[in-house]
Chain A
Amino acid sequence: MAEVSQSMGQTAHPTLSLSACLRLAIGRMGHVAHAAEVRHA
């Protein structure tokens, strides 16, 4: 799919937007918290 975008002149490696970074970070924190809970249980 990256090559398809590239053939149309779009960037091959899209940069992450700030909101996407935040969502990733929050998602990661949730994952870590969940894993900690599981370990604790």
Chain B
Amino acid sequence: MLDASPAPLVKVRDLKMYFPIHTGVLRRHTGDVKAVDGVSFDIMAGETLGLVGESGCGKSTVGRALIRLYEPTAGEVEIAGDNILTLAPEALRKKRPQMQMVFQDPQASLNPRMTLAQIIGEPLIEHSGKTATDRLARIYELMDQVGLNRRFANRYPHEFSGGQRQRIGIARALALNPKFIVCDEPIAALDVSIQAQVVNLLEDLQDRLGLTYLFISHDLSMVRHIADRVAVMYLGRIAELSPRDALYAKPLHPYAEALLSAVPEPDPDREGSRQRIILKGDVPSPANPPKGCAFCTRCPKVMDICRTDRPALTEVEPGRQVACHLFPTTSAPAKSTSGGQYQLQQHGV
């Protein structure tokens, strides 16, 4: 799945997405919901980065801000060499074919008044300038790619099952040959047997077309199956960013540890000895996050420094980055989160 010489296709630096709070008769700006608060990572070409975390931690907001469906408050997002956040509207429109999105709910993201052929053909009308005959040929090709029968071309979304609808959403995302696809919980609305079909389809397409995915999910087992590296988010920040196997074998951040302890083990012997970490309390409000570490109010290993200083995401092991004061700073705060080059410096904290 990974290229022999990976290069970052997507670079995200200090991405912030604040939603303003307006109160009073005059609707004055009194605060912000900090949905995403300084997130940085890279995604290599041909790689799948899993983004996990509990509901409301900012996963979907990161995905949407990345392809500028939201206007981020601050930060930099570079996709295939262009800074997406500074592009003019027309340049952004021309860039759209390179970055597409598969939406969470296939029922809500398909227009009920359009047929399958019209839905898949819409981006082609918008960007490709193909004739109707060429467009229909491309629509049939896409339907073949995602395993939909060509006879269904004139049917409406309500005539399809959940899995088939999600395939239509995937075909629409593939129509313009994108390099990068944000998959925003593409399997959350599907039942388990269909989830496997859709995930296998996404993997097949990645192998055939060399796609790069940001796979947003709260299904930890599915992320383990599909992702090469995994970022764990908590309250708008990345808590840990590690290669998949290393993270699932030994999570470093206390939140990642608690989150992964919830994954059931298929082996009954190991399941019997599995230690669940039950976190106490609620997630703090993103409108008023704690001053130091976002997790300090619930962390079982909290220290005094956690309540005052915000930990930076630093590389603590080759390829593994953690934002936690438990781990002595062995390198400068991670600017590049590529898994490629590792330089460790001892600061002796």
Interface size class of chain B, counting residues whose CB lies under 8 Å from the partner chain: 10 to 19
B-binding segment of A7-15, A17-25, A30-38: A7-15
Q: In the complex, which residues of chain A have a beta carbon less than 8 angstroms from the beta carbon of B127? A: 8-9
Interface presence of A41 (CB below 8 A): no
Q: Is A16 an interface residue (CB 8 A)?
A: no
Cβ contacts under 8 Å, A4 to chain B: 103, 109
**Are A7 and B100 interface neighbours, CB within 8 A?**
yes
| Contact string against A for B residues 93-121, beta-carbon threshold 8 Å, 1 for contact and 0 otherwise | 11011001101000011010000000000
The interface residues of chain B lying within 8 Å CB-to-CB of A8 are 96, 122-123, 126-127, 172
Which residue of chain A has the shortest Cβ distance to B101 in the bound complex?
A7
Q: Tell whether, in the assembled complex, residue B111 and residue A1 are in contact, meaning their CB atoms are under 8 Å apart.
A: yes
Q: B64 and A9: CB pair below 8 A?
A: no
Contact B109 A1 (CB under 8 A): yes
Q: What is the interface of chain B mostly: helix, strand, loop, or mixed?
A: helix
- Complex Cα spacing A3 to B71, Å: 12
Q: What distance in Å separates the Cβ of A28 from its nearest Cβ neighbour in chain B?
A: 23
B69 touches A3 (CB 8 A): yes
In the bound complex, do residue B64 and residue A3 qualify as a contact, i.e. CB atoms below 8 Å apart? Answer: yes
B67 within 8 A of A: yes
Which residue from chain B places its CB closest to the CB of A6 in the assembled complex? B69
A9's partner among B103, B108, B111, B126 (CB-CB below 8 A) is B126
Complex: A1 Cα to B131 Cα, angstroms:
26
A residues in contact (CB < 8 Å) with B: 1, 3-4, 6-10
Residues of B whose CB lies within 8 Å of any CB of A are 64, 67, 69, 92-94, 96-97, 100-101, 103, 108-109, 111, 122-123, 126-127, 172
Can you name 25 A-B residue pairings with CB atoms under 8 Å?
A1-B108, A1-B109, A1-B111, A3-B64, A3-B69, A3-B103, A4-B103, A7-B67, A7-B69, A7-B96, A7-B100, A7-B101, A8-B96, A8-B122, A8-B126, A8-B127, A8-B172, A9-B92, A9-B94, A9-B96, A9-B97, A9-B123, A9-B126, A9-B127, A10-B126
